Amino acid sequence: MNILLIIMTATLCGVGLFFILADALKVPTYASSKAANELGKRRHPKTNPLEIWLRDLSHFIAGKIRLGEYRKAQLAADLKTADMDITPEEYIANAITKALFIGVFSVPMFFLFKFGALLLVILAVVVYFRGSRSIVGKLKKRRQKIEYELPRFVGFVEKTLKHNRDVLYMLESYKDNAGPELKREIEITTADMRSGNMEAALTRLESRVGSSMMSDVTRGLIGIIRGDDTVVYWASLNMKFSDYQRQLLKNEAKAVPRKVRRLSLILLICFMAIYIVVIGQVLFKSLSLIL
């Protein structure tokens, strides 16, 4: 009961301290921030309420951040690939803001429960590192979705190559049947091919996706543009990618029983925790009556 009271007191003090800091730094209300976000919904389609509310604070922190040239260039390229219309400084500032939102609760908690304050500081550090590296996970998921579609695209190119060697036609014909991630890349590449060098556009596609499978595909497409006989290449690539897709499906099938076992274990732990809490309360009541 005392621990619960300490947590409630620390939470209320933390919320009060945060609102004082928000007022001092002129952070707008959630309603006004949400209204501004609705106007730019295309730029921020999946922004959560916390990010909407703390965006101005993030912008303030972003103005104070100085990144190295290499780190800044790498983050800018990753953000552009992930279709996130923010600067590298704003990306880092978002992670710092979320960490500060949690870390501010450690101040009142320190005077009430020092161990709890330490846990909050650790949690804030974890939130910062996860936030500052979340782009890596997004790019990985995006790359996996594109790679999952490539076997179908390779099969399409192999069939189309029998009667048409126009790479731009192949890309535009497949675009309507592609998933969101690959469709976006095809749209960028076709626009790039119309306005500049076709081989350079395919090379940029390869660098954006950052996949060895996409490298094999772009190498074959460049071969078609140069007039090489790539029929055997696409046939062998289709077989290779088909084997990869079958392996992915096998791995997904194998993962299902593991997920079920994991959920069953979590359910068992929850039941045991309930029994332990109930038995503990009964024992404490019995001991208090005896004493």
- In this predicted model, what pLDDT tens digit does every residue of 127-183 receive, in sequence order? 888 888 888 888 888 888 888 888 889 889 888 888 888 888 899 889 888 888 888
Tell me the percentage of the chain whose pLDDT exceeds 90.
1
DSSP string, 30-79: HHHHHHHHHHTTTTSTT--HHHHHTHHHHHHHHTT----HHHHHHHHHHH
Q: How far apart are the first and last CA of the chain?
A: 19
Instruction: Evaluate whether 212 touches 146 at the Cβ level (below 8 Å).
Output: no
Q: Indicate yes or no: pTM above 0.75.
A: no
The pLDDT value given to residue 42: 44
Residue 36 has pLDDT above 50, yes or no: no
Residue 69 has pLDDT above 50, yes or no: yes
Instruction: Break the chain into its structural domains and give their ranges.
Output: 2-132, 145-247
Instruction: Evaluate whether 107 touches 118 at the Cβ level (below 8 Å).
Output: no
Mean pLDDT of the chain: 77
Q: Of the ranges 33-47, 98-112, 120-134, which one carries the lowest mean pLDDT score?
A: 33-47
Residue 10's nearest CA partner among 124, 123, 122, 117 is 117
Residue scoring higher pLDDT (274 or 257) = 274
- In this predicted model, what pLDDT tens digit does every residue of 185-213 receive, in sequence order? 899 899 988 888 888 999 988 888 888 88
